[in-house]
Structure 1
């Protein structure tokens, strides 16, 4: 992240997202400003608030993908949630603070996983010693039975002899000669009853704490299992990796990461905007907006890992805003999202580029899938143009769902090929304009049929 200039960020986004340059520039500046904030004097650092963004545009034009790719570029904690899932305090539903708790939970899991991967070698060495203890009886029993493949046995060994036998057994273990042998391993189990907490809004955290309390009170049960050496090694290595990780530090690092570089993507924010009538569903929608205010502006949210400040979390909201406008949001919330970016609807040329240019282009995905069956799939340029033309036409005639239309068209187009691929004799298949027209003609021409199938 430190080395990414706004131009670099836009270049990286261009690899996966076609067009929408204004939106890319805005999020690139927002991301760079987070790095800039870390460089300013401490006396000013806390005063610099993130400039939250509203992405305005129809579905399927890349709003969510821009936010998701942005989080991956900076390795930032990222959580996406639909604003329409929230209800205001006093109604049954999700509390708006739950999105911060979910972000913290995801980040703790990610930091813990990274910490466990960092101690993998050490954990594996400890697991190896534990395995040797299982395979080699103690010396005070008067024998060192290291029977593996071929059967080694030393009677009344001295300390040096036992050590030598252990090293021989270690070599056999590392060479895989013990892989077919079974060992008895005590595996920890915790049979906690399924307890679900059906609580009112604002009490979700109580459910988490109750489950944690039950988990700490119930005794750990161990069950002896007879498993093969490789599986036992993996189980013991995972246990040791957990033991080696300092969870207090993991939680501390995760909370700091959330507070300083977290990104929350609020999708469908237009669904909580009222139409100005001020009664019926609009009352609850306005209540959700008011509940969002302190979170977006900066407050402290209690989580099971401790308090988390939201002052410097970046909020990116998005919505189609078909029948309403961003100005229909309450004025206080509008002020928390100072940057507004309109994304363009996609046309035929955009569809052609989406099919072919991105690193994860849709055509490349299908080519790779069929290659696993030994089938070489080729699309002619005219075929790609025809697919884009039909996608644009269907979007105009029915519901405009943007690039998502390409997914439905491609599945319909390649249905027979995907079904018959394991049994075809011709391993070189070419999709041309005539094939596209034949497969999609009925759907394209029949408006009622296209509404239901596409």
Structure 2
């Protein structure tokens, strides 16, 4: 407080000081000045109550303070206005306010991740059976994943590292877009009930450059485990688009998002203690750090690896390109499962460094989806796309049906799009738009049947009215 905030008093007289208590009077005599209220401008000697000291050298008398609170109670101000003065007030107009004047706090649901126990760990055939309920096809990939995950968590649960050091079962999954790479990993984590972090390798850069640091993949895993380090150290990290960090060819500038990122991931894949930022993607002085041990974290890398087929074809046809035993160059052009013949040498030629591939001992591929697989994806999984729309119309008491030739037409359209299973959703959204718009208009509609002609824009769906004959819709 400045000197202007005090009034000089004559300490030799005691007329006014007799109205104050002894302690307050002695304190005033020691200072030689007395405080005054910034609101009513009365001094200590003129105020009957006590003086209240506030931050920033502000003094208010007891009477003015009481009047201020009375005004706030009678004329409530917005919370944002009061919070600006450091006052967290709750007004009667707040809908969330309870009778006691407190706001009910929303309960945060913590994720339940049970302890990994060998007795309750599902066997490989059980894991694959559960994957079959959600993922169509890809039997070989599901078998490889089931065995690798089972062996990994046996290693974690039994802690046999002191006797025989068992290496981690990190995996590299190769498959065309829309073949189910991410969906397989999500389903696997749900079956095992372990924390899962899904990240994209395209945003990773070398430390010191714009982008996410390598440790950001662990930050997401820590968030998925509710910041519980012990649970996060037994989780799964899926790094998608791993082919985007392949070593660039003929690059004159520094490759900060290619080979350098592969080098940075080596320590994570192999297992080491890493300082991880909590709630951020990069390290700085304002972000707290925790130490995580990656020895028991399972890393699964996935990527589409475009143009890898050409590298595989060149290797297969190079061995015998001249003579009677020579293979034709177009021999493997129609092979839809060419990725299953991939080797480490093919991946090295693509741009993956040997040290990185050495820490991903399990390499397997996913098959390209055919027409039969598309039809099964539409109907068979527990959360099938057709079942979702049937449930939506069932809420309007309307039954939705699909003819067999309509499913074949949808599958053929999806193959032409060349975006995998993701194409199915966009195709169905397109022809279901008019149906979802028109059905709620008429409460007499009982059944809607989707036909091949409607899918191919040559006709309309068949609508059955409640208690009436079949009518052809005109939409």
Please state which band the TM-score falls in when normalised by the shorter chain: 0.5 to 0.7
Q: CA offset at residue 309 of structure 1? A: 0.5
The yes-or-no answer on 1:428 pairing with 2:447 is: yes
Q: CA offset at residue 305 of structure 1? A: 6.7
Q: What is aligned with 2:201? A: 83
Q: What is aligned with 1:293? A: 266
Following the alignment from structure 2 to structure 1, what is the Cα–Cα distance between the partners of residues 260 and 370? 38
The yes-or-no answer on 1:270 pairing with 2:389 is: no
Following the alignment from structure 2 to structure 1, what is the Cα–Cα distance between the partners of residues 171 and 274? 22
Q: What is aligned with 1:373? A: 396
Following the alignment from structure 1 to structure 2, what is the Cα–Cα distance between the partners of residues 348 and 415? 24
Which protein has the larger Cα radius of gyration, Structure 1 or Structure 2?
A: 2
Check the 8 A contact 2:174/2:303 in 1, yes or no. yes
Check the 8 A contact 1:23/1:341 in 2, yes or no. yes
Q: CA offset at residue 421 of structure 1? A: 2.3
Secondary structure of the 2:262 match is helix
Higher share of residues assigned helix:
1
Residue 361 (structure 2) aligned to one of 332, 338, 354 = 338
Secondary structure of the 1:95 match is coil
Deviations 1:125-159 (A, max 9, x none): xxxxxxxxxxxxxxxxxxxxxxxxxxxxxxxxxxx
Compared CA separation, residues 369 and 281, structure 1 to 2 (3 A): farther
Q: CA offset at residue 426 of structure 1? A: 1.5
Q: What is aligned with 1:313? A: 297
Q: What is aligned with 2:127? A: 9
Check the 8 A contact 2:248/2:258 in 1, yes or no. no
Following the alignment from structure 1 to structure 2, what is the Cα–Cα distance between the partners of residues 35 and 272? 28
Q: What is aligned with 1:184? A: none
Deviations 1:302-344 (A, max 9, x none): 2447311011211100111113553221111111111111111
Following the alignment from structure 2 to structure 1, what is the Cα–Cα distance between the partners of residues 359 and 161? 23
Q: Quick one: higher RCO (CA 8 Å, sep 6+), 1 or 2?
A: 1
Compared CA separation, residues 284 and 378, structure 1 to 2 (3 A): closer
Secondary structure of the 2:131 match is helix
**Aligned positions of 1:160-199 closer than 5 A:** none
Check the 8 A contact 2:175/2:367 in 1, yes or no. yes
The yes-or-no answer on 1:326 pairing with 2:343 is: no
Following the alignment from structure 1 to structure 2, what is the Cα–Cα distance between the partners of residues 420 and 348? 30
The yes-or-no answer on 1:58 pairing with 2:42 is: no
Q: CA offset at residue 404 of structure 1? A: 0.7
**Aligned positions of 1:49-198 closer than 5 A:** 49-108=167-226
Residue 43 (structure 1) aligned to one of 134, 159, 162 = 162
Following the alignment from structure 2 to structure 1, what is the Cα–Cα distance between the partners of residues 236 and 254? 29
Question: How large is the Cα RMSD of the aligned pairs?
Answer: 2.1
Compared CA separation, residues 3 and 336, structure 1 to 2 (3 A): closer
Check the 8 A contact 1:9/1:28 in 2, yes or no. yes
Following the alignment from structure 1 to structure 2, what is the Cα–Cα distance between the partners of residues 305 and 73? 30
Secondary structure of the 2:400 match is strand
Check the 8 A contact 1:82/1:266 in 2, yes or no. yes
**TM-score, normalization: structure 1?**
0.61
Following the alignment from structure 1 to structure 2, what is the Cα–Cα distance between the partners of residues 271 and 416? 40
Following the alignment from structure 1 to structure 2, what is the Cα–Cα distance between the partners of residues 3 and 107? 19
**Aligned positions of 1:198-277 closer than 5 A:** 254-259=228-233, 261-277=234-250
The yes-or-no answer on 1:403 pairing with 2:421 is: yes
Check the 8 A contact 1:273/1:282 in 2, yes or no. no
Secondary structure of the 1:388 match is helix
Q: CA offset at residue 297 of structure 1? A: 1.5
Compared CA separation, residues 437 and 284, structure 1 to 2 (3 A): closer
Compared CA separation, residues 311 and 439, structure 1 to 2 (3 A): farther
Following the alignment from structure 1 to structure 2, what is the Cα–Cα distance between the partners of residues 286 and 330? 7
Following the alignment from structure 2 to structure 1, what is the Cα–Cα distance between the partners of residues 151 and 458? 49
Secondary structure of the 1:429 match is strand
Following the alignment from structure 2 to structure 1, what is the Cα–Cα distance between the partners of residues 199 and 458? 37
Q: CA offset at residue 17 of structure 1? A: 0.6
Compared CA separation, residues 73 and 440, structure 1 to 2 (3 A): farther
For structure 1, the residue ranges without an aligned partner over 5 or more in a row are 110-253, 442-454
Residue 32 (structure 1) aligned to one of 139, 150, 154 = 150
